[in-house]
Amino acid sequence: MATKRRYLPLASTRHLEKMMTKYYALSRYHRLWGKPLKRPLAWITSGAPVELLRAFNIHPVYPENYGAICGTRRVSTDLCQVAEAAGYSQDLCSYARSHIGSILRPDLAPMGGLPKPPDMLVCCTNICGTVLKWYEALARIFNVPLLVLDTPFLPGDLTAHARQYVLEQLKEMVTALERLTGRPLNRDELNRQLARSSETIRLWKEIRQLCRATPSPLNAPDLFIHMAPIVTLRGTRQAVDYYRRLKDEVKQRVQQGQGAVEGEKIRLVWDNIAIWYQIFGFFKMFSQQGACFVTDTYSGGWVMELSPGDPLESMAATYTEIFLNRSPEFRARQMIELIQDYKADGFVMHSNRSCKPYSLVQEVIRRRVMQQTGVPGLVVEADMTDQRVYAEEPIRNRVQAFLETVGGL
């Protein structure tokens, strides 16, 4: 008997693939056009204020996004082992190990690795402390300038002192970029970049909010795949145009009552980075039982709103208040609000061996969320790209037991 289809693909995915292929092709051949057009190449962390770089006509490339690509193509484990053989601990982030492995063995890496050498490295510590050591290692490998934006951890609300601390660093970064590029900051261009970022963020937020509908028009794999432009192309016209297209398609699904998961019976919230090498196989265990992940905390990290006013002050506040830079209380409250707003029946937390800031406090958050919402929460232990940590059968058994619990409530 033929297996009944339970998952509805998005037509926008074709456009996404074309756009990302073009972005990586342009990046790969940056050496041919970057210098003539006076566009330096920067490797940058995902939580860094990319609008500032774009205002200086710098082409940004994201090693973390590349790490996710290595994960989906299932080459991360080999690349991690290359880095480990060179002395990098297996306990380090697998994005970092994959990326360093791709530098050491480009023959094993998708697209032969990222274009190198970069003209500069830009690192913001708002997502974790590992990125600092990762980028320091890259700076030693390539002997290129490293610009660091240090954001203090926020146990509560953003203080004036913390914002001023980050603002002063942004001013220093402007001075450094003026020196490295040989051109002054164009504040009009920075405002245009911020305006496009704000538009992109607004569209991504609205797309996610459409998943409050029952059935949900999107499932977690959709959110993870279609978040790529808001990471790599934030501040560009391409990203704005793409999310308008995606929003129209998602809105049409809601109007027609089309769900991403056929026969949606259970609504769930996901916490942490995707298990990239199992992005479809893992979630299929849920969708086959009519369970849909209607929202998540990870792709929601890019719905931060850029406040109006002075551009540097706006970026100082926004990039310091990234959710991974916040207290367990903030993250528990965020999860509770998602469960209530999206009428979720439960939640699943990926205890991600690579991402300590995301994972170490999850048990505290899980207990608090369960206590205040009354819905069950499951913790699944794995890694975002290193397949050696993934144990298929124990995870399948736990998922099955969890779904029986949620379905029986």
pLDDT at residue 6, rounded to an integer? 63
Question: E strands, 342-388, where?
Answer: 346-352, 377-382
- Selection from 236, 229, 31, 189 nearest residue 119 by Cα: 31
Q: What is the pLDDT of residues 323-355, one digit of tens each?
A: 999 999 999 999 999 999 999 999 999 999 999
- Domain membership of residue 183 (yes or no) is yes
Segment 77-85 shows an average pLDDT of 98
- Counted domains in the chain: 1
- Domain membership of residue 92 (yes or no) is yes
pLDDT at residue 9, rounded to an integer? 86
pLDDT at residue 257, rounded to an integer? 96
CB atoms within 10 A of CB 23: 19
Q: What is the pLDDT of residues 281-322, one digit of tens each?
A: 999 999 999 999 999 999 999 888 887 889 999 999 999 999
pLDDT at 408 exceeding the cut of 80? no
Q: What is the pLDDT of residues 113-143, one digit of tens each?
A: 999 999 999 999 999 989 999 999 999 999 9
% of the chain beyond a pLDDT of 90: 94
Residue 308 and residue 283 in contact, taking contact as beta carbons nearer than 8 Å? no
- Domain membership of residue 216 (yes or no) is no
- Domain membership of residue 324 (yes or no) is no
pLDDT at residue 383, rounded to an integer? 97
pLDDT at residue 4, rounded to an integer? 56
- Domain membership of residue 362 (yes or no) is no
Segment 148-168 shows an average pLDDT of 96
- Domain membership of residue 321 (yes or no) is no
Tokens of 17: 């693939």
pLDDT at residue 306, rounded to an integer? 86
- Domain containing 81: what range? 11-187
The mean pLDDT value of the chain amounts to 95
pLDDT at residue 136, rounded to an integer? 97
C-alpha span between 81 and 147 (Å, rounded):
28
What's 64's domain CATH number? 3.40.50.11890
pLDDT at residue 156, rounded to an integer? 94
Q: What is the pLDDT of residues 2-33, one digit of tens each?
A: 445 466 889 999 999 999 999 999 999 999 99
What is 31-100 written as a DSSP string? HHHTTTTT--EEEE-TTS-HHHHHHTT-EEE-HHHHHHHHHHTT-HHHHHHHHHHTT--TTS-HHHHHHH
- Domain membership of residue 222 (yes or no) is no
